[in-house]
Amino acid sequence: MEISRQDTVDRIQEKQKCKWQFLSTVYCLLFAVSCFQSIAHAGRADKNNFLQEADQAYKKGSIDKSVELYQKALEADPGDAAAAQSLGVTYAEKGDWDKAVEALKKALTLNPDNAEIYVDLSLAYAEKKDFEKAVSYAQKAVNAAPKKASAYLTLGLAYEGFGDNQKVIAAYKQGIQADPKNSDLYLTLGNLYGKEGRLDEAAAAYQEAIRVDPKNSFAYSNAAYVYEEKKDEQKAIELLTRGTKANPKDDVIWYDLGAAYGKSGNMEKAVECYKKSFDLNEKSYKACVSLAMIYEKQRNLEKAAEFYVKAMSLTEEPKLKEAIMRQITRTNE
């Protein structure tokens, strides 16, 4: 079963670009359940109905319901490897790694040549901190599909669990040789270089990610962060501006551009970008707070209070609400 990642990318976009902390988000990407594309399920009509209902439940975020329906689909046809894999990755979505492994191993017995199942098993064992098995299954994924980028991403992540960065880098570079048009491989390699403080190499990897996929917004943002670390704020702004042109409806990259302008002291442009970010995503707590803080510094207290109040409505975290209330009180003094 080929895994479609777009819905999960949308959900975890804010987590993925977290200044080189890429490991857990790639797990999320590769564990996305994707029965949303048309999958050919042979068998009885009741099994197909269960699968369709399970897919719909997952789309709506009803993970427990989707687990129940995938189980029913397997009861109707115990030989359906795709249903078993879907059940496994849905358990993974719940964080139930033992049951995920059990279902994925069943899928593997039914379809032993499926590289994606090896990928999913590797990721499950990595989450269980069993990195020896994670490496083993990732290597089997590479052997089963030597041109598949996800296999090399998974192998690198498994080695990263061991803390063996040389093998991590080697895995990503092998993946790039096998699939030189995969932007995520360059992105992940850049993240690793960044965490090691190898800023020039990180910047070069991110630039390659952008070259391969000009719409990879994470690459623009992470590259910009590198240049901020190198004290080249103008280069960071230039990259993020290119990113907004490539992804004009991406609220996160507009936010990052606003933050870059703020660091450079250009508050007018910062406000403009934060407003654009908030227009694109009216649930953006960070954009609200950032706007409020700039307005407060500009002594535009009415606007500051307006955005602090909006920010308070966008979070359920008591400590954040308390902090915002202190800001509102201070603004009104």
DSSP structure class, residue 40: -
pLDDT (tens, 9 = 90+) of the chain, 333 residues, equals 332 323 322 322 333 343 343 333 444 444 443 332 223 333 444 556 777 787 787 777 778 888 888 888 888 888 989 889 988 988 988 889 999 999 999 999 999 999 999 999 999 999 999 999 999 999 999 999 999 999 999 999 999 998 899 999 999 999 999 999 999 999 999 999 999 999 999 999 999 999 999 999 999 999 999 999 999 999 999 999 999 999 999 999 999 999 999 999 999 999 999 999 999 999 998 999 999 999 988 989 888 888 888 888 887 788 777 777 777 666 665
Where are the chain's structural domains? Answer: 284-333
Tell me the one-letter amino acid at 57: A
Inter-residue contact 84 to 103 (CB < 8 Å):
yes
In the three-class reduction of DSSP (H, G, I as helix; E, B as strand; rest coil), residue 275 is classed as helix
Which residues fall within 8 angstroms of residue 60, CB to CB, at 6 or more apart? none
CA separation (Å) from 259 to 11, 72, 189, 306? Answer: 22, 49, 25, 20
The tokens for 19 are 């200044």
| Separation in Å, CA 140 to CA 114, 145, 168, 228 | 10, 9, 16, 40
**C-alpha span between 172 and 204 (Å, rounded):** 14
Axis crossing angle, helix 115-127 with helix 131-144, rounded to the nearest 10: 170
Q: Are 181 and 212 in contact (CB under 8 A)?
A: yes
The DSSP line for 96-109 is -HHHHHHHHHHHHH
Confirm if 176 and 185 have CB atoms less than 8 A apart: yes
